[in-house]
Structures are given as C-alpha cells and as structure tokens.
Structure 1
Amino acid sequence: MGKNNRMVKVLAEMKQDYARLETAPTHTVCQPETIMLPMPDGCRLCTVIHRPIGPGPFPTILMRSCYPDQGAILRLHGEEYSRRGFAFVYQICRGTGRSEGEWQPNVNERADGKACVDWLAEQNWTGSIGFWGNSYLALTGWVIADILPDKVKTLYLTHYGTDRFISAYQCGLFRQDVLTSWAMSNAGFPVSADYQASLRYRPQVEVDEDLWGGRLSWYRDWITNTNRQDIYWNEGFWQLLKEIPAKIKVPIYIGEGWYDHHLGSALEGWKALAEESKKHSVLRIGAWNHFFQPCTAGAPTNHLDNSDIRQAFTWFERILCQDQKPEGCVLTYQINADRWLKQDSYPFNETKTTLFYLDASRIRANAATLGLESAEQTAVATYTFDPENPVPSHGAEAMLATTQAIGSLPQPACGYRDDVLSFVSDPLARPLSILGKIRVVLHVASTADDTAFAIKLMEIKKDGTAYNIRTGITTLAYRQSGNQNRQHYEPGTIVEAIIDCWDISWQLPAGSRLRLDITSSDFPQYAIHSNFAGIWSRQAKTQTARQSLYTGGDTPSRLILPVN
C-alpha cells in the first residue's frame, strides 16, 4: 500500500472512531490559526490552534510533534476536539516542517515544550489543559511532566517510556529494526540507502557517512554506548528523563502494547512514578503493536478495545471537563482469554512459578524435550552460528520498520533450520496463566570469545500450529544481566546465561504444548552478533562459531514461567 493510500486509510479509521464517541460534535469552530511561536532563544516554532467560536475558557489539548508529514492526522484531531468544545493546539518540533532551528532529536524538547505549555497556560481562552502524545509525541510530554504550569491537569502518554537504555539494548545487542530505521527516517536529511544494506553494514558506526550521506553524532552515541553504566545514559538528557516520573504530581495515563517496542521502558516509568500521581494514574497494556493494531494471529480479540481515540477522549473529558480524578489501577489484556484484568500493582506478583527443563537427550519429531523434571544425565546439543546467515525475525515485540514481523504469528515447524534447536513439552494437563517476565536459564559454551543466544517461547495449539509468546536474547559478555558491565568469556567454557523477557499476560488452555527454540540470532529485531568480543557497532568482520547447549545433570537449562 502506498504512503498516500495508508494515510487515507488511517484518516478514515480515525473518523469512524470519533463518530462512535458518546459526546457528539455540537460546537461551531473557528478557522484554524497558525502562528510562529518564539522560543526563549528566538527560534520560532510552527504552532496551530483549533478552537470553538466564543471567548472560552475551553478545556485544551496540547500535542507536540516532530512528524510534519502527519499534519493531516493532527488537523483531524483538532477538528474533532474543537467541534466537541475543546481547544486543540499542536506544535511542530524545532527544525522540522515549518518550524525554525536545527533538528536534533530529544534534546530541545524540554526547553521548547516548557515555553509552549507556559504560553498556552497564559491564554485567556484556555481552561484546564491536558497533554496528549504517542511515541515521540509522548516523549515531548514526559520531558516536561515535572515542570507543568498549574493549568495542566493530566498527561495521556502512550508507547514511550523514560528509560532509553532499555528501549535501545538487550544485553549488549541493539534493537536495530527500531532505532536504525528511525535514524534513517529522521536524520534531518533524505536517506535513500537500502535498508537491509544499512542494517548489515560493518562497522555500523560508519554507516551514516558511508551509506546515508552525513554524520549523525546522536546515532553514533546510541550504538557505541552498550553498557547500562556508560556516562551517556547516566547524565544529561537521558538521566533527566529517568528522574522525571518520581516528580510528577498530576494523573497520567500510560498506554502500552504487549508488542510495542517501548513496553520495557514505559513499565520502568510506571514503577518510578510518584505516589501522589500513581494513586490517580492508569497503566493499560493491550495486545497490539506500536500502531495500536491487533497482532495476535492465533488468538481472539473481540474484547481488545484498541481505540486510543476513545480512551483518550474519555480520559480528558473526565478530568478536564468533569473535574474528576480517576482511581489508580493497572489494566492488562490477557491473550487467548480475550479479557481485561485489573491488577493490584506493577511489578506483577511473580512469587509463583512453573519450571520446565530442557532435555537434549530425548528427541522426537525434530524436537528435544521440555519436561517438568530435570534429567539426571547431562546432554549436549550443538549447532553452528554464521552471522552472514542470521535467523529472520518473525513474531517479535521490539520492532518498528518490519511491521509484518511484529506480534504473535504462526511459526515454522521444528527443524526448519539447522541452527535452531527446538524443545517441546507434553500437552498441558490443566490451563496455565502466565503473567510477568518469563526467564530462560541456559548452560552454554561457544568457540567464540563472545556470541549471542536467543530464545523464542511458543504455544503449540491442538491443531499443531505454533504461535510465539515471547522472545529474548543475551550475549556471553552480558550473560547474567543487561545491567552489568561487559564480562570476559573464555572460549569453550560452560557458563550460565540468563535471558529475561519482557512482561506478558497469556492464557494457555489445557491440551496446548509449549515450544522453546534456541538459536543465536533474531534479525533485524536485534543486531547480528559478529562472534567477536567488543562493542557490536565497531566490529568490521564476522566469524562462525560452534555453539553448545547443555541440559540435565549439573547443567539444568530451564524455562521459568511466572504464573497466577
């Protein structure tokens, strides 16, 4: 589908969502007004005002966007809100669209956002103000959430978080389909280079100048700071962003999807939220991707309720118009059960677990065994990992550009590749509800001095079709935790590697089986490991590695499920 056709479809769906609102459009509106709003340094930013006819004051919604090509979407929001008695203001970020200045992601949004919201609060036609944003637009809200004028009563922020390191890395491997693609689309100049060639380019730290046509210092910062403790993530803008949730005083709606690439970061933001705010805030997680699209192919979604337009309008109407504060809560959508559950809190209670042990000695139908007891004898399974032939991502939670690979999707049969090991359980005797972070503990060895191990957990339904539940990855350099500094590995040594997945809520019915795949790549969800030690983006060449997975005996490789 072409870009114009996609936009037509998006606008049509938005109009349908607005038409379903209980609040009908009853107001006559003014012609939209565009002003060039001066920032404190004199730079002027394009700011568009939609409001009903009349003096006000009106409940007011503010958005700030770095995507001027989405102007039609912003205008439609403005038209629909103003027809329902709201003022709606959106501003185009510095250096994008008609706004003046130089585009540099993130770093100007606090000062510019503060100037914008302070100006808005001073207007005599504004009443109570709410900030609304999704993705980068949510970032522009997060970054001013602790310095709001009194007129701002709430924020509604979806699909973004406050811990950028989590959004960028999993145990030393970069989330390439998210951030490399975003860098190419938001470089500040046209990038026409082939996407796959850009992802695979080595050393990746030089891809900007060699293939894209200009140096992007901020992208180089992202791809070279692989340690959680690196100064880059712990000072300046990113440290400031991490500190903001604890200072927020107003109610905030944090919306996420189980298959949105910002989920991990957003959950950290919720955990850090000040109690004053949290007692009237809502965390809501559904089974959709970054674009609010249902993406669980093997599960019913009749009660998914993924209209963010309806959720946002209801939230703003309640707080800005009715002056009511919501009751704080955590709402999670349970996949397969097709229902919403209200949780007491987050993090979820993960004290109850069910363990499944890998057994490489028992093979049937191209798969080894996943059982409830660990085998007495040690067994080993091996495969060769060639970085020039990575396992393609298909069914993933942290992707953006390769949209067809996002979500829970039908999976290939066991044995589909020589470099993928599959372990399958017996049919479940009773239903099993997963809620929280899945963990896989592997005992592994490699001929390389650093390499990767990736997992994919699936449900095999009674008809034999497998659907992914969660994926995860680690490297030997970060084998115990992605929060540690890089570790040394001696080739051939058997070590324990821990792979933690993002949270999930999934109902497994009796009769389903579990399948766990082990391999060493998941591309382009994650950058391909070169099989050399060191920072991934500085590696200029690759080598093959012989990988060994040990099970049973003194090496009880296992799957740990949080259940409720």
Structure 2
Amino acid sequence: MDVTIESDVPATMRDGTVLRADVYRPSTGGPYPVLLARLPYGKSVPLVGAQLEMVGLARSGFIVVVQDTRGRFASDGESTWEPWTYEGDDGYDTVRWAAALPGSNGRVGMIGSSYLGNTQWMAALSKPPELQAIAPQVTWSEPNEGLFARGGAIEFGLNLMWSLMQGADTLMKRHADDPAAMTAQLSALITDMDQLNSTGYWKLPSGRHPAYQRYGIHDLGFEHALRHPEWSAACRVSGRQAEVDLPSLNVGGWYDVFQQGTLDNFTQSRAAARPATLIMGPWAHGLFTGQIGDVNFGVASSFESLGFRGRYLDVQSAWFRRWLAPEAAPSGPELPPVLLFVMGSNEWREEQEWPLSRAVDTDLYLGADGTLAFRKPPADESIDTYRYDPADPVPTTGGAILLPSEYRMGPLDQARVEARPDVLVYTSEPLAEDLEVTGRVRAFVHAATDAPSTDWVVRLCDVDPEGLSLNVVDGIVRVDTTPGEFAEHLVDLWSTSYVFRAGHRLRVHVTSSCFPRWDRNLNTGEPVDSGTDFRPARQEIAHDALRPSRIVLPVVRS
C-alpha cells in the first residue's frame, strides 16, 4: 500500500497557538483509524521514525499523526519551552482535530514511549471523546518516584542530561535572529553535555543546578516541582488511572528507568476494571533488543519476536484494530492480560494478573561475616560499619538508568562496586534448586549514622558459579535521622521477574550512594537546592534478632 505524507499540517489550540504535525496516510481507500504521537524531540528526527515506524503503520491501514508539542521545533509556543504544563489541554485539542482529518473514521489511538507515553495519559485524562485507546511504552506513573526523584533522592543523572539535551532547540529559537549568539550558546551547551561526567554532575547545589540559570532553560521538572509541588500534577498519572475509561496497552522493561511506573499504571487500571494489558520484557529505556548490558537474553526476548508472537509493531497494530476498527480486526488469539519475560530461565510466560497472587513474600536476612540466609540471625551478632564520603561516591554501574553513553544500562559485572570499602556485601550459599523471584522486592535495613541526613542504597545481585555478580534490582531512600540512633528503613527496589539458577548465589549490597544516577546526599541536612558543603558519615548496619536487616523476595514456587 502506498503512503502519502503531509508535512507541518497546522492544528490550532484553544488559545490560538498553532502546533504542527506530519500526517502519514494510506493513498487509497478508507476511512481509517488515526494513531497519534505527540513529542518534544522533533517529529522529523530519524530516531523518531525508527521507533514509531509511521510508514509501516500507515501501510497497515492507519492514518498516523506525529506532532511537535508546544514550543518545540515546528510548533509555535513559548520562547522558553516548559515540559509537561500544556500536554493535557493540547492533547485534548489535538485528538479532536486529528479525528476530523480527511479519511479518518473518527476514532483515535495514541502511541509512543517515555515522554510520548505521558502525553497519552495526559490526553486520556482530559477525556476527548474520540480517543478510544492508548499504548504507552516505558513511562512513569508518579513523577516523584522515577522521573524527578526516587526514594527522596533526585533522579539526577536523567534530569540534568535530558534537560541540557532539550535546551538546544530552545536556544536555536531564542537566537534565531542572531547567528553569532546562537553559535556561542550552542557551543557552550554542547561542551557542558560532553563534560557531564567529568564536571557537570559534580556541581552543587544539585537541586538548583547552575546550568539551568546559565542557559535560561527549564529543567526536566525536579526543581520546578520543588518550588511548586502542585505543578507535578501536570504529568502525574498515579491515583488517576480510574478516570481513564479506555483500554491501555502498557509496555515496560525490567531494566527501564520507569519500570515500576509501567507496572503501577497497569495494576491501578485493572483495579478500576479498565481493559488494561501488560507486556514486560528484559529491556532498558529505548533498548528492546535481546542483548542488555552483559547479558544476552536471546532472540525471542526482543521487540522483533516477543517469543515468536511477531514484531511488536504488528502486535500493537492488531491490538489497536480491535478497539479502533473492530470491523477489520484480525482473527486469531488476543494478547493475555499479562505477558512477562522471566529472566534467568529466559522465557515468555502468560499470566492473568500482576502482581502474582501465588508469589510468597520471603525474608532473606543479612548476617555476620557477609552472610545472607533465609534463617533469622542470632541475638548477639556484631554491627557492620563503613564510611560514606560524598566526595568519593559509589559509581553507577548498570541498572535501570538513563545516563550519558559512558554508563551502560542493564545487568553489569559488579566487581568494581563490590571491591569498594563503602559497599557492604552479603552473599548466600549456593542454591540447591532454582529460585524464582517475581514481583515487588523490598528491603528493611536497621541502620544508624552520625549525620543528620543520609541515604541508604540496597541492590540485589545474581552470582554465578564462576563468581560473576550481576545486578538485578536496586533502590534508594533518603532519610533525616537522629545521629547515632538506629532505625528501620524501608528501601523499595521495585520489581523483577528473575530465576536464580541452582548453583548460583544471591547477593545484597548495602551502601549510601549510586552516583550520578542519584544525587549525593551531602550528610549535612542542608536543603538540596542550597547545600554545597559536605562531610563524611559513619554508617552502621545491624543484623541481629532484634534488628533483623533483610530483603523481602516475592518467591514463586513451581
């Protein structure tokens, strides 16, 4: 089927601002349902076409609309672009406009990942009547748990990198009439981006980074939300899924920076009896191949296969036809409510629910001499200590991250981390049989510090018989404390589906930093938007019968 493309098609918003979109449509026939993507990254950027596959979708019988959001690239709007603020209203107006395009059957679905996933939820929450289904990929639910922050710490590596990258278009628009000023500003911005790892991430205060003031650009949202907490509602889905009476196809990755948000959007939608579907693969953000980090999960794990169910593009197209053009819906089996890739056994599994009701929370206790066991420690165990120095934080090594290219995503060899004196390492005996962990992983650490504020980071790893230790999940919590006083702290490691093989060992890290993913706690208690002084802290972890530090695993028995 031939496809025609119209560029920069204007749509006028309620306040008169004109947004522009490229429209891909089958050359003949119709009417066709519409698939809409709204993004701030430039609708003509080649990477956008590679991810959305607009021509392929049009050839399969959809009108595809890809729109630059307000203030970005071809669209009009504020000279200093502000993320999130207008996506609800503009999403509503754009859906109604797209539904009335020539050749449309009047039904609209929305597609895309990350920011594009959130523009779907914001449009759905604004309730345009023509919007019939959404398919958000790798997007968040609560912005303060994964987008802006995590456990009270700034999601710093993502926030600073993303904000500087998006600043380029703002500077080009601002200095369009002054090429010399544009060149100077862009050159400085690019230098700062290239030097994030060596200098940019180390600048203080973390919560009011000087780069934003230097270029006059908005941050991703942490600093804005710190000053105006109510503004976070502009991109918050959490607690509002019941308002969206639409089917949703939620796609996430176990090593995606917004992993838990995808799961939460699905579970809260299902709890409200909405027709939600979930696909979770062994993927990182924007990386849907079989190779993630140091692990090859196999060809069947990729977006090109989905366990030989077909390419995701085709699976998504068939799903949309059922909701947008039921008269043309394909025959054959529908997706199950939940399709999970179980890492370790490296297989796709169909489920009827998430979380799995058959998963049993099982305590794994930290013990003396770096032990880790399913039995509770005795009453007379000693306390482990280490020194956390914000001047020398533990480097981010893999995980569910979105950072500059120096930092690889996914499961990586943790030898460099485990060799540090500021990382406590607890390891189990080799497993006698396979152990499946599927669900939410949490840790409870009984800890004390001599600082008024500090962070606790916990990581779960898989150690193979040769001693290779690979990270599975981790989490952080930032706490204000009474110096020297032990307290129990909950660290949310988010979720996984992972089989620890017989002969392998489980390992738990306890430390106080993972930088630059999360900003450094300076151990002073100063506000994050003004603190620049820092000090080392003496950290203590207890693991006795009265203070049982432990990790809680959702264990699934076969």
With structure 1 as the length reference, what TM-score do the two structures score? 0.84
Q: Which residue of 2 aligns with 1:271?
A: 267
Contact 1:336 1:507 in 2 (8 A): yes
| 1:274-285 correspondence runs (5 A) | 278=274, 280-285=275-280
Q: Which residue of 1 aligns with 2:182?
A: none
Q: Which residue of 1 aligns with 2:248?
A: 252
Q: Which residue of 2 aligns with 1:49?
A: 23
**Deviation larger for 198-207 or 458-467:** 198-207
Equivalent residue for 2:531, pick from 534, 539, 545: 539
Give the 3-state SS of the residue equivalent to 1:493 in structure 2.
coil
Query: Separation in 1 of the partners of 2:418 and 2:48?
Result: 48
Q: Which residue of 2 aligns with 1:336?
A: 344
Query: Separation in 1 of the partners of 2:408 and 2:120?
Result: 29
1:443-494 deviation line (CA, Å, top 9, x unaligned)? 21111111112122111111221111111122232xxxxxxxxxxx221112
**1:195 partner amino acid:** L
1:29 equivalent to 2:3? Answer yes
Residue 162 and residue 383 in structure 1: after superposition, are their counterparts in 2 closer, same or farther (change >3 A)?
closer
1:172 equivalent to 2:152? Answer yes
Give the 3-state SS of the residue equivalent to 2:484 in structure 1.
coil
Query: Separation in 1 of the partners of 2:417 and 2:196?
Result: 30
1:374 equivalent to 2:369? Answer no
Q: Which residue of 2 aligns with 1:138?
A: 117
Q: Which residue of 1 aligns with 2:183?
A: none
Displacement of 1:414 in angstroms is: 7.8
Query: Separation in 2 of the partners of 1:330 and 1:491?
Result: 46
1:108 equivalent to 2:73? Answer no
Query: Separation in 2 of the partners of 1:415 and 1:319?
Result: 50
Query: Separation in 1 of the partners of 2:225 and 2:70?
Result: 24
**1:295 partner amino acid:** I
Query: Separation in 2 of the partners of 1:129 and 1:73?
Result: 23
Residue 415 and residue 180 in structure 1: after superposition, are their counterparts in 2 closer, same or farther (change >3 A)?
closer
Equivalent residue for 1:184, pick from 158, 164, 167: 164
Query: Separation in 2 of the partners of 1:374 and 1:144?
Result: 50
Give the 3-state SS of the residue equivalent to 1:506 in structure 2.
strand
Residue 352 and residue 410 in structure 1: after superposition, are their counterparts in 2 closer, same or farther (change >3 A)?
same
Query: Separation in 2 of the partners of 1:528 and 1:498?
Result: 19
Query: Separation in 1 of the partners of 2:101 and 2:43?
Result: 28
Give the 3-state SS of the residue equivalent to 1:536 in structure 2.
coil
Equivalent residue for 2:510, pick from 500, 518, 525: 518
**1:437 partner amino acid:** R
Contact 2:160 2:219 in 1 (8 A): no
Give the 3-state SS of the residue equivalent to 1:51 in structure 2.
strand
With structure 2 as the length reference, what TM-score do the two structures score? 0.85
Equivalent residue for 1:495, pick from 484, 487, 491: 487
Give the 3-state SS of the residue equivalent to 1:32 in structure 2.
strand
Give the 3-state SS of the residue equivalent to 2:509 in structure 1.
strand
Residue 336 and residue 274 in structure 1: after superposition, are their counterparts in 2 closer, same or farther (change >3 A)?
closer
Identity percentage of aligned residues: 25
CA RMSD of superposed structures (Å): 2.6
Query: Separation in 2 of the partners of 1:350 and 1:513?
Result: 23
Contact 1:252 1:277 in 2 (8 A): no
**1:178 partner amino acid:** L
Residue 89 and residue 504 in structure 1: after superposition, are their counterparts in 2 closer, same or farther (change >3 A)?
same
Give the 3-state SS of the residue equivalent to 2:45 in structure 1.
helix
Contact 2:336 2:350 in 1 (8 A): no
Contact 1:29 1:51 in 2 (8 A): yes
Equivalent residue for 2:548, pick from 541, 544, 556: 556
Q: Which residue of 2 aligns with 1:125?
A: 103
Displacement of 1:374 in angstroms is: 2.8
1:321-361 deviation line (CA, Å, top 9, x unaligned)? 4445956612211001111222332233376133222222x
Residue 221 and residue 415 in structure 1: after superposition, are their counterparts in 2 closer, same or farther (change >3 A)?
closer
Displacement of 1:202 in angstroms is: 1.2
Contact 1:299 1:335 in 2 (8 A): no
Displacement of 1:285 in angstroms is: 0.8
**1:495 partner amino acid:** A
**1:542 partner amino acid:** F
1:305 equivalent to 2:302? Answer yes
Displacement of 1:379 in angstroms is: 0.7
Query: Separation in 1 of the partners of 2:229 and 2:131?
Result: 33
Displacement of 1:274 in angstroms is: 6.1
**Deviation larger for 384-393 or 183-192:** 183-192
Displacement of 1:93 in angstroms is: 0.8
Q: Which residue of 2 aligns with 1:359?
A: 367
Residue 535 and residue 405 in structure 1: after superposition, are their counterparts in 2 closer, same or farther (change >3 A)?
farther
Q: Which residue of 2 aligns with 1:10?
A: none
Displacement of 1:254 in angstroms is: 0.6
Contact 1:350 1:436 in 2 (8 A): no
**1:431 partner amino acid:** D
How many pairs were matched up? 514
Residue 496 and residue 318 in structure 1: after superposition, are their counterparts in 2 closer, same or farther (change >3 A)?
same
Residue 318 and residue 444 in structure 1: after superposition, are their counterparts in 2 closer, same or farther (change >3 A)?
same
Displacement of 1:242 in angstroms is: 3.5
1:409-438 deviation line (CA, Å, top 9, x unaligned)? 122068511111111111011111001122
Displacement of 1:97 in angstroms is: 0.7
**1:334 partner amino acid:** V
**2:26 partner amino acid:** P
Query: Separation in 2 of the partners of 1:256 and 1:203?
Result: 33
Query: Separation in 2 of the partners of 1:381 and 1:216?
Result: 43
Contact 2:336 2:351 in 1 (8 A): no
Query: Separation in 1 of the partners of 2:363 and 2:424?
Result: 19
Residue 276 and residue 558 in structure 1: after superposition, are their counterparts in 2 closer, same or farther (change >3 A)?
closer
Query: Separation in 2 of the partners of 1:72 and 1:385?
Result: 44
Residue 526 and residue 275 in structure 1: after superposition, are their counterparts in 2 closer, same or farther (change >3 A)?
closer
Query: Separation in 2 of the partners of 1:384 and 1:498?
Result: 21
Give the 3-state SS of the residue equivalent to 1:35 in structure 2.
strand
**2:93 partner amino acid:** A
Residue 56 and residue 314 in structure 1: after superposition, are their counterparts in 2 closer, same or farther (change >3 A)?
closer
Equivalent residue for 1:290, pick from 261, 285, 289: 285
Query: Separation in 2 of the partners of 1:158 and 1:460?
Result: 31
Give the 3-state SS of the residue equivalent to 1:349 in structure 2.
coil
1:39 equivalent to 2:9? Answer no
Residue 449 and residue 243 in structure 1: after superposition, are their counterparts in 2 closer, same or farther (change >3 A)?
closer
Query: Separation in 1 of the partners of 2:343 and 2:292?
Result: 11
Displacement of 1:385 in angstroms is: 0.8
Displacement of 1:233 in angstroms is: 6.1
Query: Separation in 2 of the partners of 1:295 and 1:83?
Result: 31
Q: Which residue of 2 aligns with 1:162?
A: 141
Query: Separation in 2 of the partners of 1:259 and 1:213?
Result: 32
**2:37 partner amino acid:** M
Give the 3-state SS of the residue equivalent to 1:143 in structure 2.
helix
**1:32 partner amino acid:** E
Residue 458 and residue 38 in structure 1: after superposition, are their counterparts in 2 closer, same or farther (change >3 A)?
same
Stretches of structure 1 that go unaligned for 5 or more consecutive residues are 1-26, 363-367, 478-488
Q: Which residue of 1 aligns with 2:132?
A: 153
1:94 equivalent to 2:70? Answer yes
Q: Which residue of 2 aligns with 1:232?
A: 230
Displacement of 1:515 in angstroms is: 1.3
Contact 1:447 1:546 in 2 (8 A): yes
Contact 1:143 1:244 in 2 (8 A): no
1:429 equivalent to 2:408? Answer no
